Amino acid sequence: MSTYHCSVKAGNKGSGASASAKADYICREGKYADKPDLEHKESGNMPEWAQDSPRVFWHVGDHYERANGRVYTEIELALPREISPEQRRELVQNFIREQLPGHPYTVAIHNPKAALEGGEQPHAHIIFSERKLDGIERSEEQFFKRAAAPYRDRKTKEMVTPDPAKGGAKKDLSWHKAEKIVEIRKAWEQHYNRYSPEQVTCR
């Protein structure tokens, strides 16, 4: 029987969250390398300096992100066990392409055995940065600085729009709103039901 699950969680630096530790955990790297349930992992939308090693992105974010900032946001998804691993990968990739355009992300699909009946229990962990690529190449430190925002000139009293390259990559703050989470949960229902022979509802 298919079960709907879609949760969104924030990894706040001020609360001790570590994006690099989370990436290691979901990708089964470092001290988690002996866990046998990894079905697939990949990263995307990385800035130039993290293209060859997405793991670097999360380490750099831990270092440069503001003390009270989110170092990652995580979406956790239950996947249909009735479809193939290739179909599960395609399902998750389509969801990411639609819902996280421009956001640096790492995704891992785990497929452990369920504790009770011993069947498959496939699920995905997506971690992403609220910051979005905008076509401007920034250094590691610059990427995580506060984005350049319009301000009022003290002398002329006119609004000034600064060069976005002077600041960091801008964050999508809609991820802090309850309406966004409702939207994501509904979107996942639609994606899931395109692939699963058993339909689910986010309600």
Catalytic amino acids?
A: 25
- Separation of alpha carbons 37 and 28, rounded Å: 9
**Alpha carbon distances (Å) from 38 to 20, 24, 121:** 18, 12, 12
- Separation of alpha carbons 57 and 10, rounded Å: 17
Which tokens hold the place of 55? Answer: 């793991």
Quickly count: other Cβ atoms within 10 Å of residue 175's Cβ. 17
* Contact indicator for 129, 104 with CB cutoff of 8 Å: yes
Give the SS3 label for residue 173: helix
- Separation of alpha carbons 77 and 191, rounded Å: 11
- Separation of alpha carbons 18 and 61, rounded Å: 9
Helical spans, DSSP H, in the chain = 19-27, 54-64, 85-99, 140-143, 178-195
